[in-house]
Structure 1
Amino acid sequence: MQAVAVQPACLGLYCGRAVLAANGSTEMYGDCGVCPRGQKTDDHKICRPCTESPDRYDWLYLGFMAMLPLVLHWFFIEWYSGKKSSSALFQHITALFECSVAAIVTLLVSDPVGSLCIRSCKVVMLSDWYTMLYNPSPDYINTIHCTHEAVYPLYTIVFIYYAFCLVLMMLLRPLLVKKIACGLGKSDRFKSIYAALYFFPILTVLQAVGGGLLYYAFPYIILVLSLVTLAVYMSASEVESFKDLLLRKKRLVVLFSHWLLHAYGIISISKLDKLEEDLPLLALVPTPALFYLMTAKYTEPSRILSEGANGH
């Protein structure tokens, strides 16, 4: 065991030396290799504990990843409930309860245990998410494996959350559906649960492969998807005026839900660093819906066809 000053250089972007002992200002370091969980290399290639708190953008990212299973739950519950069952509302509430409890438990079991706060390492660049791609091979034969979670805990905490969501769903939802989903056939009442058994593995793979890309792109993904799904829903529901929106409460709920997503996307992009400049952007939230309602009557296919026929 030697001081780092007389040790050979530590190669690799994410390889570091763990602190083995400290005596005042003097520290003794181990060999160059992977940093322990919850630590990240500093500028001197020394493994240092993650002591920072996630910033606002980090929390918004975690919120986005937490919303994905909830939105998918709601979508498939609505898709398979149809108009025959009155149990959809209770299933929606149960899904919200499952995801909320899973999120709270995930924060409680994360370091520091028992607190809703978590400690993290700051994300500096995209490669921080993919340390496995930066293991050095000094002699081009032997590889020094330095793969660790440089974005601790933003990568693994999502997997833990999905696991808790899945466990809670399997414990609560089948009992609820069996009790109240009387309007559906035996083969249909559990389809929303079966759908979750498919999309949870897909979300897990998505986080494992594209977690870093999602971290940087999720605000724009929210805006694009919310705009597209709102237009598709209003078109499929044949909403062409404000009166059509007011006919059913469900349409208003869907509209306000999309507005919340728009606002979330705008906040994620702006980060609300300058409140006096960023808050007015939230006034743009209703713009897509208003634009659709004002232009829907001019894009009605039957009207376009009739005007084309009259033109001839």
Structure 2
Amino acid sequence: MSMLSGHASTTQPACLGFCGRTLLLGNHSEDVATATSTSDSTFSRCGPCSFGYRSNAASICESCDNPLQPYDWMYLLFVALLPLLLHMQFIRTARKYCRTRYYEVSEYLCVVLENVIACVIAVLIYPPRFSFFLNGCEKTGIKEWYPACYNPRIGYTKTMRCTYEVVFPLYSITFIHHIILIAAILILRSTLYCVLLYKAYNGKPFYSAIVSVPLLAVIHSIFSGVIFYSFPYILLIGSLWAMCLHLALEGKRPLKEMIVRLVTSPTHWVFLSITMLMLSFGVIALITPLEIAYRWTLLCVVPVPFIFYLLTIPFSNPTTTMRLS
């Protein structure tokens, strides 16, 4: 392929935008008459690459056979966690309609199962198929997420359509995950409601989950490139906001009483554990691309916001602040 790429690059000018030339085997294509020829193969005109391919520096469409980088896997994990956490929040807000904790826990487990099934199937159907590894294309910038905005114009009059998935498979696999997730919700959650939660639970979490998945797909279709490069900051800000809001809802309590309440309540334990994990995830995603020594020591800052909040509780009371001043 390297010899063919070099030959094509010397006999034909590079394609514009993200367009590329496809290697055609045989002489039965209608593009052969105008294609670049070699002894055993031909190259098509400039155009969009096939699914799972992208153009290289020589404007030749090459298969995306590079293993995904750790940052890419963390982005996919972030995309998978969004509906999971959102659907859990829907269940939490509907807690007042639940008769017993048993029904609530059963729906939490169903939500986890739905998302696990969607993630596993989505990964297995992408190359290399039926394995828990993914191959993809190399990425260099945010513009590769929006190839439709970079279609070349020939003579300022004709637009050459070269829109395809340049960042394969990060863009399309999210839609596959959402489609499988909707199917899993319709099957598993409906079965759970009909068998176990019939007339015993409110259906708002189910309908909210069904509506939220298409909305997440629309957001991904528009802001996927922005989210890819900013999701560590989204995790950091979101987890800090959720932690502060959760602790603030406990009201103005003395430090000792607040600690006892947090330690003895399973609900607080679970919620704070999730926020700590999300905060750790954001820090890991942020420092993974960095090539600095002892970068993993930055994980020590994860519990700092929680400790800082507890230590500053006495100073958040206006009467205490006025007395100290």
TM-score by length of 2: 0.86
**How has the CA–CA distance of structure 1 residues 279 and 25 changed in structure 2, closer, same or farther, with 3 Å as cutoff?**
farther
- Of residues 159, 181, 194, the one that matches 1:143 is 159
Unpaired runs of at least 5, structure 1: none
SS at match of 1:127: helix
**Same amino acid, percent of matched pairs:** 27
Matching residue of 2:187: 171
Could you tell me which amino acid in structure 2 is paired with residue 200 of structure 1?
Answer: V
Deviation at 1:196, TM superposition (A): 1.0
Q: Does 1:17 align with 2:34?
A: no
- Number of residues paired by the alignment? 303
Q: Once the two structures are superposed, what CA deviation does each residue of 1:47-92 show, in whole Å capped at 9, x if it has no partner?
A: 1111101000000000000000000010001111236442111111
Whether 1:119 aligns to 2:132 is no
Residue 264 of structure 1 aligns to a residue whose secondary structure is: helix
Q: Tell me the distance in 2 between the aligned counterparts of 1:213 and 1:85.
A: 42
Aligned-residue CA RMSD (Å): 2.5
Deviation at 1:306, TM superposition (A): 7.3
Give the Å deviation of 1:305: 4.5
1:178-257 aligned at under 5 Å gives the runs 178-181=194-197, 184=200, 189-238=202-251, 240=255, 241-257=258-274
Q: CA deviation at 1:275?
A: 8.6
Q: Distance in 2 between matches of 1:272 and 1:281?
A: 14
Q: CA deviation at 1:269?
A: 0.3
Structure-to-structure mapping, 1:56-67, within 5 angstroms: 56-67=70-81
Aligned residue in 1 for 2:298: 281
Residue equivalent to 2:82: 68
**Structure-1 separation of matches of 2:45 and 2:174:** 31
Q: Distance in 2 between matches of 1:193 and 1:165?
A: 12
1:292 paired to 2:315: no
Corresponding residue SS for 2:235: helix
- Give the conservation status (yes or no) of the 8 Å contact 1:52–1:122: yes
Q: Distance in 2 between matches of 1:201 and 1:209?
A: 13
Aligned to 1:156: 172
Shift of the alpha carbon at 1:11? 3.9
Structure 2 unaligned spans of 5+: 1-6, 27-36
Cα distance, 1:6–1:61 mapped onto 2, change above 3 Å: closer
Distance 1:174 1:235 in 2: 36
Matched position secondary structure for 2:159: coil
Amino acid at match of 2:287: S
In structure 1, distance between residues paired with 2:160 and 2:86: 40
Contact 1:85 1:184 in 2 (8 A): no
Deviations 1:110-154 (A, max 9, x none): 122211112100111111100001111112222110001110000
Q: Give the Cα–Cα distance (whole angstroms) in 1 for the partners of residues 313 and 39 of structure 2.
A: 71
Q: CA deviation at 1:280?
A: 1.4
Which stretch of structure 1 is more off in the superposition, 75-84 or 93-102? 75-84
Q: What's the TM-score, normalizing by structure 1?
A: 0.89
